[in-house]
Structure formats: structure tokens, C-alpha cells
Chains A and B, each alone.
Chain A
Amino acid sequence: MSDRNIDSRLKWTAPALAAGWFLILSGLVGTHVACAGSETADNKACLRCHQMTTLAYRDPETGKIVDLSIDPKALSHSAHGELACSDCHAPDFERYPHPQRLKNESLSCVRCHEGQDDAAERLYRFQTIDEEFEHSVHATSDDPKVAGFSCHSCHDPHAFRNSQVGEDIAQIVRADNAICLSCHTKVQDPLRDPHTWLPNREKHQESVRCLDCHTPVSEDGQTVSHQILAGNDSNRDCVNCHSKKPQLLNRLYQYRSETDLANQGWVSKALFNEAYVVGMSRSPLIDRLALAIIGITLLVLGAHGYGRYRAHRRSKEDQA
């Protein structure tokens, strides 16, 4: 994915077309022709070329391969699966070769999503997402690697879909973290991984999303903030999940609980569940207080028993 500069997808130049044609022709051999979910003639026409896995060109400026292929299956299952290509892209794209003036076409996720009739009722407000993203390390960092970072850098508009309650949590976590790891390769290198301080590192990576620690708890009711935090600003406090911090705990627990219910139904949910977060009921104060009271009670009961034993001995001696 690091080689796949989606943003510059539309920036092609004449020399690249020649290379593109070569790849198109080679891709035609053995290409399985499949149709997108939205069976519009428009999409079919676009996918005739763009469904080929080898459709790409080398950006002459950056030297990187720009992937132009779209997986029709992923597209049809994506959040945009019902749309026609021209709903987002300019209709002029139907002409081939695509007109030069379209190369700088800009697509605004926020404008389109906020323009929906039911935008206000949706779980995520794109206006909020945009504001959060503005404060994200991906937007504020001056590292050249994040230059031009946009929604599409993480959310491939031709494949992205929200995870659904009921899906396997491990699978959601894997897919979600794969997006981060596609750029943050250091994390996968055991010698350079900045998470070495984290106890049970592998277990954490299997069970929670990078986002769960690397975003602040959002106060606006949206499940996950889009304000990605820098490593140093991220949650390093175990207690935030493994104890009381209600929002973070709720975020993990409730989602898992819902998923358990959807997957297993009531009875199974009552017996087996994946929702429990280790240490979520841990309260050092209650633990210490309770264990102290229990200890004192045992001492008192022991002393009481000893007193009774002495009284019993005394009464036996009196009888003798």
C-alpha cells in the first residue's frame, strides 16, 4: 500500500499512458471479467479497464507506481457500492483518453457526505471528522511522508466499508490495523517497534485497534475520533482501559458486547463472551479496603474462636 499513492491517481501524463497501455494489454490476458454490484452501464464501461489488476502507471515526478485498478467485488461491497462512478467522478471521464483537464479533479468526501439528507442522523458527522482530522498528526506533521494526506490515504473509496456489528472482532481489528501498518512498517519490525514497553504486545495487537490508543476519547458521541495522535501523545496508561476510564472502557466493551449478542444470541452471550476486558472491575481502593476488612474479620473470628475455646476449657475444668 505504501507504493500506492492514491492521491496522485488522477495526475497522469502522456508518457505514462504508453506504459499504461502496455500494462492494460498484458492485464487483459487471463483477466477475469466481473461486474460491480451497481450494474450501471457507466460503471461497466469504467471497470472494463479499471478492474484489471495490472492497470497502473509510474508517476514521472515521484517515480512511484500509481495503481489505477479497482477490485469490482470490493467496490460492490464497499460503502460506495451502490453509486455510479460518475456520482463522484466528473462525467467527462467517460471519454477516452481521459481529458487532460480532469487530472486535477478534487473529490470532497465531506461535501458529499454532509450533503446527504440524513447526514445529521448518521453515526458519523463528516464535518466533525474533518475538524478532528485537522488536528490529526497526519495533518499537522511537517514530515514530508504525510504531505497530501487525505481521507483516501486510509479509506480507499473503492473498497472501504464500515465494520458491522456481528463481524468477527479479530477480523475487524486485523483489517483496521492493516491500514495503519501499511505505512507504519516500523511497528512490524521487532527491533524498531516503539511498542516494546507494552505488556502482552501481540495480544494487544490482536485484540484492539491502533486507533483505540492513538485517538483521544471523543466527546461528541462518535465512536472513534479521527484526530490521530502522535505516539508520545497517545494513551500509555493501562488503567484507561483496564480499569475505570468510562469512555474508553465503554468503547471497547460495548462494541464487543454488541458483537457477541449479534453473533451468538442471548443464551450463548450469557455463557460465553469476548467483551470482558481484563481488569475492568479492578479498583485498587475497593480491593484494598475489602481485603483489609476481610483480613480484620478473619482475625476477629480467630480471636473469637480462641476465646470460646478457652471458655469451653474453663467450663470443663469447673465440671471436673
Chain B
Amino acid sequence: MSQLYLYARWVRIWHWINALLFLTLMYSGASMHFNGAVLLLDFQTAITVHNTAGILLTIGWIGFVIGNLISTNGRHYHVQLKGFIGRLIAQSLYYGYGIFKNAPHPFHPSAEAKLNTLQQITYIGVMYLLMPLLIISGWAFLFSVYLPETLLGIGSVWVVAMSHLTIAYLLVLFLLVHLYIITTGETVMTNMRAMLTGWHRDSHQETEG
């Protein structure tokens, strides 16, 4: 059994704060979007909670980007083009087929590469494409008076609202898949434990789960 320290403390702290903010934003966002339905927040409360969490999420995202720029964690988001397609197919085949045949994991994390190719492109898409768009559209809502009257010939508030909504739904989808995929480690808890302790266990002898 080998243990690898893959998740620095700042990454773990950021991750769990971000997770909490995600849940808060989903709940308060749904409370605004589906206002009046049961178990949701009061409208005015939802607005304040959503705005506050949104600002904190923005700060967290900026912290994440800066952290990746100044620490070694950033290298996990550099795509190695060599063998990219092959690795992507291997990982997809594993999730779609091999996993049901108890096939071995095609990827073993290391200090140089902790994310498999599928994870890597998903996280790049989420953190460097969807998150900035979500944040920009969120702030655009707040300061829409500074936007032009129309964007692409449509009222700008509407464009902003639909972008924010679509991205929010995509991120809900991401969260669901993310929650499931973390159970596909060596054992159900392997990946979750790694994000809590920082240490990733990689052992072919482990049988629990």
C-alpha cells in the first residue's frame, strides 16, 4: 500500500468552502427561481444569502486561480496532449464497461498527475470556463445598469439571466456526477478520505467498501 500526499491544505480548505458555497447557492438560487414552493427560503432572505455566497464564491475562485499560479497544484490542469485521446478512451471504457468487470483502474494518481484525463478536462471546463461565466453573469445581474440595453439584439438582463440559469444547471449536473464519481476510487471512501486528509491511498490489497 502506498500513500501519496496529493491535496495540500489550502486546496482542501478551498474545496470544502467551495462545496459549502455551492450548496448554499443552489438552495438559495432555487429559492429565488422557484419562489413559493415548499421548503424554500423566504424571497428576501434568499436574495441576501445568494448574493453573499456569490461574492464569497468569487473570492474563493480568485484564490483558487492564484493558488494554482503560485503553487505546484496548477500543473494538474496542464493537459498532456501526447496520448490524450488514448487515455480519454481508456478512462471512459473503464467507467462504462471495465468497472463492472472489476477491471483494474487504468489510472493511478501520482504527485505529478493526480487527475485522470476525464477528471482533468471536466475540472478545467468547470473551474476555468463555467465558474468564470457563472461569476460574470452573477455580477452582471447586480450591476446590469452598466450593461448595454441589449446584447445580441435581446434585452441584456434576459441574456444574463438565461446564461446564469443555464450555467447553474450545468454546475448542478457537475455536482451530482462529481459526488458519484468520487465513490469510484479504489474503495467507495478512498477519494473522499483523500480530500479530507490530503493523503491518497493506492493499494491493490484493500478490500473494504
Contacts and interface: CB of A to CB of B under 8 A. Distances in A.
A198 B9 CA distance: 55
A78 B77 CA distance: 62
Interface in A259-284: 261, 269-273, 275-276, 278-283
B153 to A, nearest CB: 9
Interface in B99-122: 99-102
B165 A315 contact: no
Interface residues of B, number: 41
Contacts of B47: 272-273, 276
Interface stretch (A35-43, A68-76, A176-184, A292-300): A292-300
B51 A271 contact: yes
Contact of A276 (B32, B52, B158): B32
B156 interface: yes
Interface in B142-160: 142-145, 149-150, 154-158
Interface in A283-305: 283, 286, 290, 293-294, 297-298, 301, 304-305
B23 interface: no
Interface residues of A, number: 40
* Chain B interface, >50% SS class: helix
Interface string A96-130: 00000000000000000000000000000000000
A140 B139 CA distance: 45
A246 interface: yes
B132 to A, nearest CB: 17
* Chain A interface, >50% SS class: helix
Given A250-B149, A253-B157, A281 B144 contact: no
B70 interface: no
A250 B157 contact: yes
A307 interface: yes
Contacts of A261: 143, 145
A249 B101 contact: no
B53 to A, nearest CB: 10
A314 interface: yes
B68 interface: no
Contacts of B61: none
Interface stretch (B12-20, B85-93, B168-176, B197-205): B168-176
A286 B55 contact: no
B100 A311 contact: yes
Nearest to B32: A276
Contacts of A254: 144-145, 157
Interface of A: 244-247, 249-250, 253-254, 257-258, 261, 269-273, 275-276, 278-283, 286, 290, 293-294, 297-298, 301, 304-305, 307-308, 310-312, 314-315
21 contacts: A245-B155, A246-B156, A246-B158, A249-B157, A257-B142, A257-B144, A261-B143, A270-B51, A270-B139, A271-B51, A271-B55, A275-B144, A276-B141, A278-B43, A281-B162, A286-B169, A293-B173, A294-B173, A297-B176, A297-B177, A311-B102
